[in-house]
Structure 1
Amino acid sequence: MTSANIPPGTAPIKPEFLVSVQPRDVPDDDAAEGTTSHANGRPDAAPGAEDKEEGGKKLTGAQRKKLAKEERKKHRGANKGRRFQKVRDEVELCFRVASGKSCEFGNDCRFTHDVAAYLAAKPRDIHFPAPEDLSDEPPFVRLPDVEMAETTDALQTSLDPTTTCPIFHDTGECRHGLKCRFLGNHVRKKENGELELLIDEEKKARVAAADTELNFVDGDTLKKIRTKKYPHPIADAYLKEIQQATNEKDADNTLEAKDRSAGETSVEAQHADLTAATAADTVDRSQDDAPDVPLRFVEKKRLHWTGKTYLAPLTTVGNLPFRRLCVDYGADITCGEMGLAMSFLQGSKEEWSLVRRHPSEGIFGMQIAGSKPQLLVPAAEIIGRECAGNLDFVDVNCGCPIDLVYKTGSGSALLDAAGRLGKILVGMNRALGDIPVTVKLRTGVKDGRNTAHKLMPRLAAEWGASAITVRTRHSIRYTKLADWDYIKQCVQAVREREAEEDLPPVPIFGGGDCFSAEDYWYKMDNYGVDGVMIGRGALIKPWIFTEIKERREWDISSRERLELIRKYAEYGLNHFGSDTAGVNTTRRYLCEALSFQYRYIPIGLLETLPPRINDRAPAFRGRDELETLLASPDSRDWVKISEMFLGPAPESWSFTPKHKSNAYGSEEGQG
């Protein structure tokens, strides 16, 4: 079997590692997120398809409506039905009692206060391995031999005295107390039989500031937001301004219409025409014109990002533990997952968790999506106030193409509504004070129709964007690379506008298909960008930032990759919690991460370098058993890997990947 026999577009794996020359099925990231093409205003429609059926006959309005509904249902994406229920303890102990405190609800508490009953039902502790416990030979993670105590003592039966609680190890105290699945590390039984939770006061004091997550919004604040009692005066004043201007414009247009119908041509009528045109011009000239006179936000913090590495905001998989991992491997700038402005204004606990930041994130921003100023400006003001001092920028999503976002007028839909986008950016700049506003956008809404070069020069010059990220549509079924020549054209358009108006240059980052250090530095040297935002490349190999910093392609070993997974599990437990719910939430997101990382082809197996993200992998074996396991596309193997760090998956737990693979826990996945 030789590599010469493999189909075009297949990764050039050395013959001795090939199992088959046929490339594997390609994971479709677009399908996993939902439909992403908006040609002719309908997802995935071909030009002219909306008006004809198979026989070429014209469709009636009702038939077109029915067809559109069927198309939406057909292309709803692989995420349909993905629901992840929390896995809880069989007996749920009150968290106050678990922490050694008294519960103010007493007998009215809906959770048990019977510690003995809880411990009797609690599964045995999980052993969390240290780095030295890892190996590239089976069983890959060496667990200590811990004899089960011959005792009826529920506590002794469930404890593993050799385990390490990641939270206790890092902070000196475990907030989950008796509910922790690594309890043996921080509990002891006193002579009187009572349980004592251990606290390392010295470590707790030493690391409190260094490891405590930032931008935590408490329940009372969320209640104020939810009940619309949280003030946002700057947003209110701005929205009132644009409403008044709109009313004046409407009144002038009405007067103009009356004058025309009466056939008036007086000087006064001409003056009214001019007034109406001026009002319209300064408020919302059109969908393609500026909403206001150009504003220069000189009081904003300047963003000095040139040459820095930037981890793209990534839905679901771009959570805090993953960002923290990428920082360890060299990411300089991180951005939280996209949050919806409406959900922020509704006080959603889940949405507000997206602004959480780990202290290790040197430059951190959050990303927000919305369709109009009435949502985005108040949300920005509240975010700016609650995260003051711990937020380096707020990014407006003008690039998300998935239907859930696009059809509300958010994400990439804003590219076709320049007037509205301008109002949003001007208002957010006012509401956020000195916190910079950045914009992430795509090259265009519709395939083959690039429009970003027209819009990008206005983002900073007219509406105050402090940085811009532009990305092309990624390769479709791995057959076409991103169009970086067009990104260069966009950069030149912005720089020309800045030179004409003597404006300070804003950082511009490009994005799309960057997968190696060689490719990164080639793009930096040839396309005029200040940096390259990395998304899918980081998902597949988070160590890409190390490669970039050291200007080399890293032939990372399977043992080093397993250490990366161990580190992700540790960060997940610190963030999501070390109780039963937290352990299995961490398991879920670890499996999500592995659903991308298995795509990595070790460069030591390749005949030519650098690797390309659009190359499809044939079936191959690794240089050792662990490398082969890490390349498995079977989600049951991903769960198996998670069990090395998080213990056995509960029988009630299931995992449905974003991509179309066998789902662990489903009938399909049990064959």
Structure 2
Amino acid sequence: MEDEERVSPEPHELVARAIAPVKKFYLRPPPVRDDVPIPDDTKPSLLAKEKKSKRQLKRERRQEQKSPVNLCPVISKTGDVSSCPYKDKCRFSHDLEAFKAQKPSDLEGPCPFFKSGGSCPYGLACRFSNMHKDGVGVAPLNLNGVKTISEVNGLSKDVQKLLWKKKMTFPKADANLKTLGLLGHSKLKNKDGSNPGSIKCDPSEDGVSCIVNSDSGPKLECSAEGNIKDDDKDVKSECDELCPPKKRKTEENSGPTKSDYEGESVIEEIVENKSEPEAGTHALTPETDLSLNVHSREKKLIDFREKLYLAPLTTVGNLPFRRVCKVLGADVTCGEMAMCGNLLQGQASEWALLRRHSSEDLFGVQICGAYPDTVARTVELIEQECTIDFIDINMGCPIDIVVNKGAGSALLTKPTRMKSIVEVVSGTAVKPITVKVRTAYFEGKNRIDSLIADMGSWGASAVTIHGRSRQQRYSKLADWDYIYQCARKAPSTLSVVGNGDVLSYVDWNNHRTECPELATCMIARGALIKPWIFTEIKEQRHWDISSSERLNIFRDFVNFGLEHWGSDTKGVETTRRFLLEWLSYTCRYIPVGLLEVVPQRINWRPPSYCGRNELETLMASDSAADWVRISEMLLGKVPDGFTFTPKHKSNAYDKAENG
């Protein structure tokens, strides 16, 4: 009996199985990878890595600084070995000839800093130093004779030192915390801000008034004298048994408790009734009178309606990527999620997430914290140090390390704490406050619809709803029907932004038509896969972008990255790493001209296919080796021993039943 001829599935059948319907002409057999040998450097090591002590790591760092690779920045700028003021005490290398001998070959093209009309800060260390006319990168300034500052929101050294020494005070935030009864961690459940069975003590002129909450009985009130005579020390009153003096909120012990969240410490004592900070401390704002605070209704609100909103994206949503999206049509941008505890500790790496480029005309920062005091103080600090348009509070991050500390999606299980955070932050901040949430923590137990009616009264001006639960992560499509339901329940003063699976202007139009109550749609992974989605939405067309046009977009990212991270060897490799992270998403894009059905859906799993030219085929590869090849077209050869593994291993192409 002859074998029946195999019939290729129809496009609609492939779509039903979440498989991209690529035209038959471009299909090719899937590659066989079982016979590919695994390099020795990628095989798991059988020997346990030696754990080094902090002293040993510090010694190695200092030795590395003294190596010829790390030339003194002063000598690098001037080209003169004798120009360093520290001489032999400098912690960097002064061996100019050894540095030149080991320096990789320069890259092609002009120095990226010359384009902005300034001088190259890296001098001889710049990988484009062959284009420096004087050899050290001194270029003429712009027409006005002043170098253009394109990035803002840097943390000053003076403030950073105060944060390190825990000498910064936050009078405005602490005054709001005191008014709302949220001093210390908000682990309270009762409406009056107290736990059942807990004791709340309020200082007064005559003494201390204590209120004892009982689960089974009425509240007991007692009073104790503020000053106890020596003769009465041995006498225990009923009040002492219910409310020990050490636990009473008096002037001596009214400070906050030490925080165990994120390893942070609550900063100094709370300034309650003082007009000036203590010696050695620094207050962010001189005014603590709550009557002068701007009410949430009086704040300048941001109109998100119809604006193209680029989501805050961890790792890949960096400043150079946001600049690319701005060029391609994004209206609203937001920085990467920053942890409040790290910001209050003055960590430079965390503050770098708040950087803003001059092209970002409507820019916000996103912060994440577990407790009202931590978030409120962070907001006060950010408003003092940064130029922003709004502050977004992340209450939907699904990452384990965040959730296990009580932040992100963990707050969805604690609506009382959500309310406390939004209320105290909105009372502290002058800028509008927005909130980003998921539908719920557990799948099938949505709860945002029961909270959204109150979020506006808490002080939020907008809420973004990601149509998945924390338990889902990124499996299954976003539940837009539930987002519509929440948008219809929201008050008119609260803008609702939908988020999830927007990959084309058709998706955008459908959501806006289906639910006019939505202010706009936030675009997240869709922008990572195809950042020109903003252009498509504005021009209402499917852009069959060519491979050369896509390469030019990557080239713009590289130029922006070199300006941001530096044009020396370290800056080049940092730019390469972030480019490779982005390429791990863009490989999921399937060109419009190759599809039987348009537009592409975000959950489609592409079959093995080839592009219309060699470059397009290379860009479609899901192999890290091919991503490295693309990076070498723009940044030169990778260093010896270079390896790359994507930081985020979340895969949009999950099992078909999860599509």
TM-score, normalization: structure 2?
0.73
Identical counterparts, % of pairs: 44
| Equivalent residue runs for 1:252-401 within 5 Å | 254=212, 297-387=296-386, 390-401=387-398
1:465 equivalenced with 2:460 (yes/no):
yes
How far residue 417 of structure 1 moved from its aligned partner, in angstroms, is: 1.2
Which digits, 9 at most, give the CA deviation of each residue in 1:444-500, with x for residues without a partner?
A: 110111111011121112x110111001128979873211111010011113xx4xx
| Distance in 2 of aligned mates of 1:486 and 1:416 | 18
Q: Secondary structure at the match of 2:350?
A: helix
| Distance in 2 of aligned mates of 1:512 and 1:258 | 47
Q: Residue 303 and residue 618 in structure 1: after superposition, are their counterparts in 2 closer, same or farther (change >3 A)?
A: same
How far residue 593 of structure 1 moved from its aligned partner, in angstroms, is: 0.3
Which digits, 9 at most, give the CA deviation of each residue in 1:137-172, with x for residues without a partner?
A: xxxxxxxxxxxxxxxxxxxxxxxxxx3111222333
In structure 1, runs of 5+ residues without a counterpart are 25-84, 128-162, 189-194, 263-294, 499-504, 662-671
Q: Residue 441 and residue 236 in structure 1: after superposition, are their counterparts in 2 closer, same or farther (change >3 A)?
A: same
| Alignment-derived partner of residue 200 in structure 1 | 140
Question: Is the contact between residue 177 and residue 183 of structure 1 (CA under 8 Å) also seen in structure 2?
Answer: yes
1:410 equivalenced with 2:404 (yes/no):
no
| Alignment-derived partner of residue 10 in structure 1 | 19
Question: Is the contact between residue 176 and residue 578 of structure 1 (CA under 8 Å) also seen in structure 2?
Answer: yes
Q: Structure 1 residue runs of 4+, over 6 Å off?
A: 21-24, 474-479
Q: Residue 111 and residue 518 in structure 1: after superposition, are their counterparts in 2 closer, same or farther (change >3 A)?
A: same
Which digits, 9 at most, give the CA deviation of each residue in 1:607-659, with x for residues without a partner?
A: 11121111110000001111000001110111111111111111143211135
How far residue 92 of structure 1 moved from its aligned partner, in angstroms, is: 1.6
Comparing 308-317 with 241-250, greater Cα deviation is found at: 241-250
| Alignment-derived partner of residue 517 in structure 1 | 505
Q: Residue 16 and residue 238 in structure 1: after superposition, are their counterparts in 2 closer, same or farther (change >3 A)?
A: same
1:250 equivalenced with 2:188 (yes/no):
no
| Equivalent residue runs for 1:425-574 within 5 Å | 425-432=422-429, 434-461=430-457, 463-473=458-468, 480-495=476-491, 498=492, 505-527=493-515, 528-574=517-563
Which digits, 9 at most, give the CA deviation of each residue in 1:524-566, with x for residues without a partner?
A: 1112311100001000001000001111111000010000111
Letter in 2 for 1:626: L
| Alignment-derived partner of residue 590 in structure 2 | 601
1:592 equivalenced with 2:554 (yes/no):
no
Q: Residue 258 and residue 485 in structure 1: after superposition, are their counterparts in 2 closer, same or farther (change >3 A)?
A: closer
Which digits, 9 at most, give the CA deviation of each residue in 1:569-628, with x for residues without a partner?
A: 111111110011110000000000000000100010001112111111000000111100
Letter in 1 for 2:152: L
| Alignment-derived partner of residue 132 in structure 2 | 186
Q: Residue 256 and residue 551 in structure 1: after superposition, are their counterparts in 2 closer, same or farther (change >3 A)?
A: same
| Distance in 1 of aligned mates of 2:406 and 2:649 | 28
| Distance in 2 of aligned mates of 1:257 and 1:450 | 30
Question: Is the contact between residue 213 and residue 219 of structure 2 (CA under 8 Å) also seen in structure 1?
Answer: no
Q: Secondary structure at the match of 1:366?
A: strand
| Distance in 1 of aligned mates of 2:308 and 2:644 | 32
1:232 equivalenced with 2:170 (yes/no):
yes
1:614 equivalenced with 2:603 (yes/no):
yes
Among candidates 164, 172, 175, match of residue 118 of structure 2: 172
Question: Is the contact between residue 368 and residue 375 of structure 2 (CA under 8 Å) also seen in structure 1?
Answer: yes
| Distance in 2 of aligned mates of 1:397 and 1:254 | 35
Q: Secondary structure at the match of 2:199?
A: helix
Q: Residue 321 and residue 167 in structure 1: after superposition, are their counterparts in 2 closer, same or farther (change >3 A)?
A: same
Q: Secondary structure at the match of 1:619?
A: coil
Q: Residue 456 and residue 477 in structure 1: after superposition, are their counterparts in 2 closer, same or farther (change >3 A)?
A: closer
| Distance in 1 of aligned mates of 2:468 and 2:540 | 26
| Distance in 2 of aligned mates of 1:630 and 1:201 | 39
Comparing 514-523 with 118-127, greater Cα deviation is found at: 118-127
| Distance in 2 of aligned mates of 1:406 and 1:203 | 51
1:580 equivalenced with 2:569 (yes/no):
yes
| Distance in 2 of aligned mates of 1:631 and 1:549 | 26
Q: Secondary structure at the match of 1:208?
A: coil
Which digits, 9 at most, give the CA deviation of each residue in 1:33-63, with x for residues without a partner?
A: xxxxxxxxxxxxxxxxxxxxxxxxxxxxxxx
Which digits, 9 at most, give the CA deviation of each residue in 1:401-436, with x for residues without a partner?
A: 11111111101111121111112112112222x211
1:125 equivalenced with 2:125 (yes/no):
no
| Alignment-derived partner of residue 82 in structure 1 | none
Q: Residue 243 and residue 368 in structure 1: after superposition, are their counterparts in 2 closer, same or farther (change >3 A)?
A: closer
Letter in 1 for 2:550: R
Q: Residue 120 and residue 514 in structure 1: after superposition, are their counterparts in 2 closer, same or farther (change >3 A)?
A: same
In structure 2, runs of 5+ residues without a counterpart are 1-6, 34-60, 184-191, 201-209, 221-293, 651-659
| Alignment-derived partner of residue 638 in structure 2 | 649
Q: Residue 577 and residue 203 in structure 1: after superposition, are their counterparts in 2 closer, same or farther (change >3 A)?
A: farther
Which digits, 9 at most, give the CA deviation of each residue in 1:257-293, with x for residues without a partner?
A: 696599xxxxxxxxxxxxxxxxxxxxxxxxxxxxxxx
Question: Is the contact between residue 153 and residue 355 of structure 2 (CA under 8 Å) also seen in structure 1?
Answer: yes
Letter in 1 for 2:640: E
Letter in 2 for 1:484: W
Among candidates 105, 112, 122, match of residue 86 of structure 2: 105
How far residue 204 of structure 1 moved from its aligned partner, in angstroms, is: 7.9
Letter in 2 for 1:103: C
| Distance in 1 of aligned mates of 2:136 and 2:219 | 87
Letter in 2 for 1:254: V
How far residue 91 of structure 1 moved from its aligned partner, in angstroms, is: 2.7
Q: Secondary structure at the match of 2:593?
A: helix
How far residue 179 of structure 1 moved from its aligned partner, in angstroms, is: 0.8
Q: Residue 91 and residue 480 in structure 1: after superposition, are their counterparts in 2 closer, same or farther (change >3 A)?
A: closer
Q: Secondary structure at the match of 1:217?
A: coil
Q: Secondary structure at the match of 2:393?
A: strand
1:214 equivalenced with 2:152 (yes/no):
yes
| Alignment-derived partner of residue 630 in structure 1 | 619
Q: Which has the higher contact order (CA 8 A, sep 6+)?
A: 1
Letter in 1 for 2:113: I
TM-score, normalization: structure 1?
0.72
Q: Secondary structure at the match of 1:590?
A: helix
Q: Secondary structure at the match of 1:324?
A: helix
How far residue 22 of structure 1 moved from its aligned partner, in angstroms, is: 10
Letter in 2 for 1:124: S
| Equivalent residue runs for 1:15-30 within 5 Å | 15-20=24-29
How far residue 23 of structure 1 moved from its aligned partner, in angstroms, is: 13
Q: Residue 243 and residue 441 in structure 1: after superposition, are their counterparts in 2 closer, same or farther (change >3 A)?
A: closer
